[in-house]
Every structure is written in C-alpha cells, then in structure tokens.
Amino acid sequence: MAAAAPPALSFRTYEEYLESQLTALDMYYLESEEVGRQLVELGFRGSGNVLQREEFEARAPAAELTAVAPQKSLASAGKELKDNFLRALAEREEANWTGKISSIIFIRDRNSHRQEVSAYIDYAHRLTTDDFEVYFSGKKRLLPRNTDLSFYNWDRNVSTSNSSPNYEVIAEDDSGLLFKNKSDRKIINVDPKGYPGDNTTRTPVETDLYHHVVIYDHIIRRGT
C-alpha cells in the first residue's frame, strides 16, 4: 500500500511537493524530474491522492481528495488482475477516460487464425468502443485490429493506418511511424531507439498474454 502523501504545508512550492513523492528508483527509470512530477500529478507515482496545483495553493487538506468518487465506473474495478499487462491497463484506465493521459498500446501476437499480427492501439478510443469488462476478467484478449492506428499482418504482409479521435497517423516520415496527438499537437515517436516525444514515456510490459507489448503514455498539456 502506498504511503500517505506528505502534508502540503511542508513544502514551499508545488514542484517540491510533487518531487517529495518520487523515490530514487523512480528517478533512475524516468527521463527527468519534469516527467516524474507529471506522473505524480496524474497518480502514477506517489500516494495516488495528490493535490492539484490549485488545491495545493489553497492549502486544502489532502484528505478531502479521498472523498471524491470517480464519475464513471471503471471496467477494472474489483477485478483480480493476474497479469502485468492487465494491471498496466487498469492503472491507466481512469486517466485515459478523463483525458489527462493518452496511451498508445503496441501489441504483437497471433490472432485466432494463428497469423502473426501487430498494432498500435489508441487505448482511450478503444475504451469507448469495446467492453473492457471481458478483457479485465480474462474472458477475452485485447487484440490488434485493422481499424487501429496502425495494423500489420506479418504473414500476409498487409498493413493499414487509421487516424482516431485522439491521434493523426503520420506514416510517410523520415523518422518512421509517428502519431500526432490532436489535443496538444505533440508528436509521439514509437521508434524504440528514438526519443518518444515531449511529455511521453515508453514502457515495455512483461506479460504472459502476448509476444510483445509496449505502452506509450502521453501526458496531455492543454493550453489555458
């Protein structure tokens, strides 16, 4: 269980408050303190009950946040998640619903015809079109589709690209396959050897359910 968040009054700035919830191990794996602070603010690091900037500046007690209930019932709620991939999806479900984060999931595996397929999946969009209860309960697997952002059938050498409500696909680029977020217009680079992009992290997931999984988390910073 995560430790309680430090009292806001103990820190001079909101940045210090966020940094106080990062561990040395967090900073070893993260690209920068900036990314670390953003992940704490979204609840992916630290206690999970994190004051927003306005609440910190008003010195509202952190305990008040625990009384706020999610507006939507999450498909992962109450499920016993036995695989790392399902746990990773559950950790990101609410933030993708609310638009605080926009995750792209890369999956490579075999379909029901035993053909090797892969795709880059817009998680937030799939949450609106699929019943994730069956995925989190283990009744079905989340699999690549030819309607995803980018799909490739390795056995048939067939590929498709489709923009989604959240991303524009940029397929013809010297840097390779890119995705432009439609909210903040930032570019996500899925080349494993390249920089993933501003406010974006790349997380490989060890899983028994698929051959290969990587999740790209893009923190959306909208203009004010």
Model confidence, pTM: 0.69
Which residue did the predictor score with more confidence, 174 or 107? 107
| 66-88 confidence digits (pLDDT tens) | 444 445 689 999 999 989 999 99
Domain ranges of the chain: 14-65, 84-219
Give pairs for 9-13: CB < 8 Å, separation 24+: 9/59
What percentage of residues in the chain have a pLDDT greater than 70?
A: 81
Cα angle for residues 92, 213, 153 (degrees, 5° grid): 125
pLDDT for the residue numbered 176: 83
Is residue 108 a contact partner of residue 214, using CB atoms and an 8 Å limit? no
Which residue did the predictor score with more confidence, 37 or 30? 37
pLDDT beyond 60 at 3: no
| 180-216 confidence digits (pLDDT tens) | 999 999 999 999 999 999 999 999 999 999 999 999 9
pLDDT for the residue numbered 15: 77
In 3D, which of 67, 37, 71 has the Cα closest to residue 52? 37
pLDDT for the residue numbered 47: 61
